[in-house]
Amino acid sequence: MQEKAIPEGYLKDSQARLVPMEMIKEIDVVRNDLVLEIVGKANTVSKDLAEFKDAAMADVAAFVELSLEKYGVTLGGAKGNVTLTSYDGAFKVQLAVAEHLVFDERLQAAKALIDECLHAWTETSRPEIRVLINDAFQVDKAGNINTKRVLGLRRLDIQDERWQQAMQAISDSLQVAGSKEYLRIYRRQSDGGYQQIRLDVASF
């Protein structure tokens, strides 16, 4: 649905009411003009960045296809991650694929087995382990469990059979809910390390 044009000599307020310009304070008009000017420029920059990202990612994908076809080699690492480096090593272009991981209902079985372990270890277990486990299964404001914290439990060297079953249940419950591609560009610094070229205005 196309928004109706605002008649000349009026401004629309926050309640969608048309207010005659002569009834609006001059400072409010100047503020409105400044905001709209900045927003207009931001929309242009945002569109340019989106087009740049799409074009750069397409170019990287095309180069990978060319390399596979011409030389039969694979660039980058697993899961579609690719890093291209300039001949002099001064710049790197990285296409990274991040998977969004979630747990299915088998995570509840893992938690039940862990609770059995904690109950059995009550007298001998260190309180730090209990805090670590309880913290891993806490949910955020959106009701989601922190995947990294739960998976981090698998690094604990605990040989109890129930614990091992719980760790297997955690692994089995892990599902890939989706993935997202990220484009990152780096410039080599004088110390040999790489610094990301910032494309986010908030990072400046």
Model pLDDT for residues 5-14, shown as the tens digit of each residue = 888 999 999 9
| Alpha carbons 63 and 69: distance in angstroms, whole number | 10
In the prediction, which pLDDT does 94 show? 92
Element (H, E) at 115: helix 106-120
Specify if 67 maps to a domain. Answer: yes
Beta-carbon contacts of residue 15 (< 8 Å; ≥ 6 apart): none
Rg of the Cα trace of the chain?
27
CA distance from start to end of the chain: 37
In the prediction, which pLDDT does 78 show? 47
> Could you tell me if 70 and 127 lie in one domain?
no
Specify the DSSP class assigned to residue 132: H
Specify if 141 maps to a domain. Answer: yes
Specify if 32 maps to a domain. Answer: yes
Domain membership of residue 61 as a residue range: 1-74
69-76 mean pLDDT: 64
> Could you tell me if 57 and 121 lie in one domain?
no
pLDDT above 70: percentage of residues in the chain: 89
Q: What mean pLDDT value characterizes the chain? A: 85
> Could you tell me if 1 and 69 lie in one domain?
yes
Q: Looking at the 3D structure of the chain, how many domains does it have?
A: 2
In the prediction, which pLDDT does 83 show? 92
66-77 mean pLDDT: 67
